[in-house]
Chain A
Amino acid sequence: MTASIDPAVPQRRAGLAMSPVIMASAGFLVLMILVAVFADQLAPLHYTTQNLVARFRPPLSADGGMTHLLGTDHLGRDVFSRLIYATRSSILIAVLGTLIGAVVGTLLGFVAARFRGLVDQLIMMLVDAQAAIPALLLALTMLAFFGNSLVLFVILVSIDGWDRYTRLARGLVVSEQKSDYINAVEALGARSGRVILRHLLPNIAASLVVQATLNFPGTILLETSLSFLGLGVQPPGTSLGLMLGEGRRYLLNAWWIAVFPGIAIFLTTLAISLFGDWLRDRFDPTIGRR
Chain B
Amino acid sequence: MLRFLAVRAARAVLTLFLCVSGVFLALRLAGDPADIMLSIDTPPDVRAYYRELWGLDRPLVEQYGLYLASAARGDFGISFADDRPAFTAVVDALPKTALLGLSALILALLVGLPLGIVAALKHNSAVDRIAMASAVFGYAIPIFFLGILLILLFALKLRVLPSAGSETPLHLLLPMVTLGLPLAGRLARFARTSTLEVLSKPFIRAAKGRGVRPLGLVVRHALPNAAVPLLMFLGIEIGGILAGGAVTETIFAWPGLGRLLVDAVATRDLPVVQACILTITLIMVSANLLVDVVHILIDPRLGGFRSARGAAA
Chain A contact residues, CB within 8 Å of chain B? 1, 5-8, 11, 125, 128-129, 131-138, 140-147, 167, 217, 221, 224-225, 228-231, 241, 244-245, 248, 251-252, 255, 258-259, 262-263, 265-266, 269-270, 273-274, 288-289
Contact = CB atoms under 8 A, between A and B. Distances in A.
A132 B11 CA distance: 11
A245 B147 CA distance: 12
30 contacts: A7-B123, A7-B199, A11-B123, A125-B18, A128-B11, A132-B15, A132-B19, A132-B284, A133-B277, A133-B284, A134-B243, A134-B280, A136-B247, A137-B242, A144-B270, A145-B36, A146-B30, A221-B142, A225-B143, A231-B265, A244-B148, A248-B251, A251-B151, A252-B156, A262-B144, A262-B149, A263-B145, A270-B136, A273-B136, A274-B136
A289 B148 contact: no
Interface residues of B, number: 59
B246 interface: yes
B152 interface: yes
Report whether over half of chain A's contact residues are helix, strand or loop; otherwise say mixed. helix
Sorted nearest first, the 5 A-B pairs with minimum C-beta distance are A134-B243, A262-B145, A270-B140, A134-B239, A136-B243
Contact of B142 (A5, A229, A262): A262
Nearest to B285: A132
B216 to A, nearest CB: 19
A134 B244 CA distance: 10
A35 B31 CA distance: 40
A215 B130 CA distance: 25
Nearest to B273: A144
A211 to B, nearest CB: 14
A140 B140 contact: no
Interface string B11-32: 1001100110011001101100
Interface in B207-245: 239-240, 242-243
Most buried by B among A1, A145, A245, A289: A145
Nearest to A140: B265
B88 interface: no
A265 B142 contact: yes
Report whether over half of chain B's contact residues are helix, strand or loop; otherwise say mixed. helix
Nearest to A142: B26
A225 B197 CA distance: 35
A94 B265 CA distance: 22
Most buried by A among B123, B270, B280: B280
Given A135-B243, A141-B277, A289-B193, A217 B261 contact: no
Given A140-B265, A231-B266, A251-B151, A129 B15 contact: yes
A225 B244 CA distance: 9
A1 B149 CA distance: 48
Contacts of A129: 15, 18-19, 22
B166 interface: no
B56 interface: no
B243 A145 contact: no
B262 A229 contact: yes
Given A225-B142, A266-B141, A270-B140, A136 B246 contact: yes
A136 B143 CA distance: 13
Contacts of B123: 7, 11
